[in-house]
A and B are shown apart, each in its own frame.
Chain A
Amino acid sequence: MPYVPHSPEQIREMLEVIGVNSVDDLFAEIPAELRPKSFNLPKGNSEMAVLQKMEQLAARNTTDLTSFLGAGFYDHFIPTAVDALVSRSEFYTAYTPYQPEASQGTLQAIFEYQTAMARLMDLDYANASVYDGGTALYEATLMAVRKTKRRKIIVSEALNPIYRVMLDSYTTNLNLELVTVPHNHGRTNIKSFTAAIDNDTAAVIVQNPNFFGSVNDFTNLFATAHEHKAIAIMSTYPVLQAVLKTPGEMGADIAVAEGQSVGQPLSFGGPYLGIMTCTKELIRQMPGRIAGRTEDSEGRTGYVLTLQAREQHIRRHKATSNICSNQALCALRTLIHLCLLGEEGLHRTALLSIERAHYASERLTAIPGVELFTKGPFGNEFAITLPVNAFEVIDKLTKRGIIPGFPLGRYYEGLENELLVACTEKTTEEQIGIFAEILRGEL
């Protein structure tokens, strides 16, 4: 039997020590009426047979097409050393560091990750990560609600629609008022957004670059929010944070992000990690794990989980959140990834991605009938207007080996002809050229 080590003789010895006759006797307390009505699971298989089956399943997914699909989740290059290092089983097979003396590796890595995230967002503090970017945004919203004791949340329609629908689900039972400010050609409408802020506002939520790829400055918007004592929340894309004006500079109180693009494979939706950073004033509202530096009994530097009085295992129903762990291994991947690239490498990754996207926008908008939809400066992603329905174009191009992007009509009524196109440093000019030529031919 796989992974169970006892010999029959050892089992007999152990039952004797316990003082029962059989293993079945250990389950005597489960009454007959609670016993399973069926347990029709398949028979076990050898490791080889399972691997073969899983290889066949994997082969039924196509990953050899040239893809311009982004929409918040990007295919960046992951240095080989990331996998090599996180594969060390001392990281891989450890648990939440409840015994800090036996978990200094995990704890110091969390501390370093917190430092990297705080620097990237230019805010004071970070937590050890939460499940994903959407969870991070929802938790940030609850931080603002707790801090301000208000219930109105103003959200830009240019925020990733996946996060907007998650926010809807999570707030259904909480008696919060979500106000959505419509976008204007893919840009956050600063004027109408600012006008919506009042003294009942708990939080304003915007994204940079936003879902349409547009790059913004929210400094004035955040200043207005602060005049009304509301909390300014910004969702970001960590790779471009290497070059863009920071949440800290703009005056954000909380910055969150999906960490997938820094070190995680796309993996059909997870596991990813949610990055959360905030100002000093809000740290006690921050959910989740936080590692802190301290000393041992001989004065040596060490790390522990800290500020635990906020957490569910101490405060139970009064905790800041029900989240009881972090995405430790994913956060470690992100940290190692950033260390391998370094200051210069991250800058280059961001700039190459932006360069390729601008080259793609030039090539695509040179096709008759194709126009740039995203107005103003954009980063590594932009939307184009096609003369026909974007879903149909995707269908046709996929058959020719190109996944041309994400159809905005999926989430935005009236934008059925708009296509969101993303590039990373992995996208080549040759691929862009082929994409443009095939699209020209199909239109």
Chain B
Amino acid sequence: MGTVFKKSVPGREGVWPEKPATKVEYYIPSELLRKGSGMPSLSELDVVRHFTKLSMKNFGVDSNFYPLGSCTMKYNPKFTEQVAALPGFARLHPAISQLKGAGHLCQGALEVIFETERLLSELCGMADFTMHPMAGAHGELTGVMLIAAYHRDKGNKKTKIICPDSAHGTNPASATIAGYEVVSVESHDGIITPEALAEVLDDEVAAVMMTCPNTLGLFEKHLPEIVKMIHDKDALLYYDGANMNAVMGKMRVGDAGFDVVHLNLHKTLATPHGGGGPGSGPVGVCEKLTPFLPISRVKKLEDGQYYLSYDAPKSIGYVAPFYGNFGVYLKAYAYMLRLGREGLIRATENAVLNANYMRKRLEKYFEIPYNRICMHEFVLSAVNQAKNGVRALDVAKALLDKGHHAPTIYFPLIVKECMMIEPTETESKETLDLFINDLIEIAKLSNQNPDFIKNAPVTLPVSRLDETKAARDMVITDDIK
């Protein structure tokens, strides 16, 4: 399908505003002007057909099961879209709250921020939350900046951050970008042991970044001991909230001893991820880190009025232009109000139930490196299939042919031929059974007719794509220069 630029017909009328009365040269000297911006000229129907056809080449949660491990692709309720589109929210200029006497013009929005922070604080057992971070990885960076500010304020000289080998790649990247040296700790039988941690934990360590349950879907059962070891070194414990969907109401990270946490709202609290964003990555902190939170903060006066406070001398400053991705967490707020306490607990319980059901039904057909009760996701390995030349990648493509999105593959890096499956709580038993049966059929076919699997996908708009060619030829715009 040709690009939208190839469909351009010069002179064709799009959605044009009225004709200006003058020429631009009237206001700006011609040496400061350009000629032609290179945008396409299309009719509205041209544009509507082009993008409608593009959309039909995509899998989304509304059309396909998306068991993408560590990504928590649950159903996104439709009513929250209507909430975000309300003109009282969508048309509100962010700078309005910074004008004198205009705070009363955005009390509703300030209340949303204040209340969302309170709900998330209770969800996680933290003293405070900031809604500023604009994505999960941005939350990580903010969290590490908070950790750095804390140590700087105490006069601590700390240069390292520990990340387990099973950590999301963003953890070490965030720690590095905030100025730290990254040290890895190996997991044993899928989890971190106090012994392994002791080998790398010294006085230079500013923090340990953990995911619990971890990326293998396993609960870190030595957590109480690990927390004590870390705090004894005056290091802080960071919780990567990517897997929060596994523990709502079962464990609160603050109560468990974590000092900083980020959440991925598109995962845990069901805001659509739009093909890669926007997200929202609020960060929660224990009391001793509150003074360092980003500027500004929403506070409430005794008379019930909300205002923005910029009085935070120890703050790490501004991490976002305003108050984060307001339009995204507005949806998460509405989602929390809808589900409530029992609904959130039930979400976690069913996510874990679904993952264990799938694990159990698949154990005869695939190697399961850590085959015990898992949390909301679990890891399969295609090592047995690989003996016939069928790799995890091939299994993934065969699943696409069956109309399912593939699991996360080759992550975590510590499992060979890894496939990480996360069904989420919103999928029915019928959907799980269909996927399981299709996966079993693929496992059987891997023995009988491995070439068939290796040629997948055959039912999609394109077959297997050449990623090496893309990197070598590097055509990343429609213009050959």
Chain B binding surface SS class: loop
Asked whether, in the complex, the Cβ of B39 is within 8 Å of the Cβ of A174, the reply is no
Asked whether, in the complex, the Cβ of A128 is within 8 Å of the Cβ of B343, the reply is no
Residues in A with CB closer than 8 Å to B54 are 91, 104-105, 108-109
A325 to B266, CA, bound (A): 13
Interface 1/0s, chain B 432-445, versus A by CB < 8 A? 00000000000000
Extra inter-chain contacts (7) besides given A50-B334, A172-B317, A327-B278, CB under 8 Å:
A30-B247, A90-B58, A94-B276, A102-B405, A105-B54, A322-B140, A325-B279
**Does chain B have a CB within 8 A of A415?**
no
Asked whether, in the complex, the Cβ of B276 is within 8 Å of the Cβ of A328, the reply is yes
Residues in A with CB closer than 8 Å to B224 are 31, 33-34
Selected contact of B476 from candidates A84, A125, A311, A329, CB within 8 Å: A125
Interface residue tally for chain B (C-beta within 8 Å): 205
Residues in B with CB closer than 8 Å to A323 are 135, 137-138
| Binding-face segment, B98-106, B192-200, B229-237 | B98-106
Q: Using CB atoms, name the residue of chain A closest to B148.
A: A173
**Does chain B have a CB within 8 A of A433?**
no
**Does chain A have a CB within 8 A of B173?**
yes
Q: How many A-B residue pairs have CB under 8 A?
A: 709
**Does chain A have a CB within 8 A of B462?**
yes
- On whether A118 and B477 interact (CB within 8 A), knowing A63-B91, A243-B28, the answer reads yes
For this complex, into which size category does the number of interface residues on chain A fall?
35 or more
A59 to B55, CA, bound (A): 34
Residues in A with CB closer than 8 Å to B17 are 77, 341, 345, 348-349, 352, 425
Q: Using CB atoms, name the residue of chain B closest to A410.
A: B98
Interface 1/0s, chain A 397-414, versus B by CB < 8 A? 011000100110010000
Q: Using CB atoms, name the residue of chain B closest to A379.
A: B28
Chain A nearest CB: distance from B424 CB in Å?
10
A391 to B426, CA, bound (A): 50
Asked whether, in the complex, the Cβ of A41 is within 8 Å of the Cβ of B34, the reply is no
Asked whether, in the complex, the Cβ of A295 is within 8 Å of the Cβ of B469, the reply is yes
Asked whether, in the complex, the Cβ of B100 is within 8 Å of the Cβ of A103, the reply is no
Residues in A with CB closer than 8 Å to B300 are none
Residues in A with CB closer than 8 Å to B179 are 173-175
Asked whether, in the complex, the Cβ of A298 is within 8 Å of the Cβ of B463, the reply is yes
Asked whether, in the complex, the Cβ of A27 is within 8 Å of the Cβ of B33, the reply is no
Residues in B with CB closer than 8 Å to A58 are 86-89, 108
Most central of B68, B280, B322 by chain A CB within 10 Å = B322
Asked whether, in the complex, the Cβ of A14 is within 8 Å of the Cβ of B357, the reply is yes
Q: Which residues of A283-336 are within 8 A (CB) of B?
A: 283, 289-298, 300, 302-304, 306-309, 311-319, 321-330, 332, 335-336
**Does chain A have a CB within 8 A of B353?**
yes
- 7 A-B pairs in the complex with CB atoms less than 8 angstroms apart: A90-B59, A93-B272, A166-B321, A172-B145, A348-B16, A377-B28, A394-B99
**Does chain B have a CB within 8 A of A88?**
yes
Asked whether, in the complex, the Cβ of B326 is within 8 Å of the Cβ of A90, the reply is no
Chain A nearest CB: distance from B357 CB in Å?
4
Residues in B with CB closer than 8 Å to A322 are 137, 140-141, 170, 173-174, 176-177
Q: Please give me the 10 A-B residue pairs with the lowest Cβ-Cβ distance, nearest first.
A: A329-B274, A44-B340, A269-B322, A58-B88, A60-B108, A119-B38, A169-B317, A271-B278, A173-B179, A328-B276
Residues in B with CB closer than 8 Å to A81 are 15, 44, 47-48
A135 to B175, CA, bound (A): 17
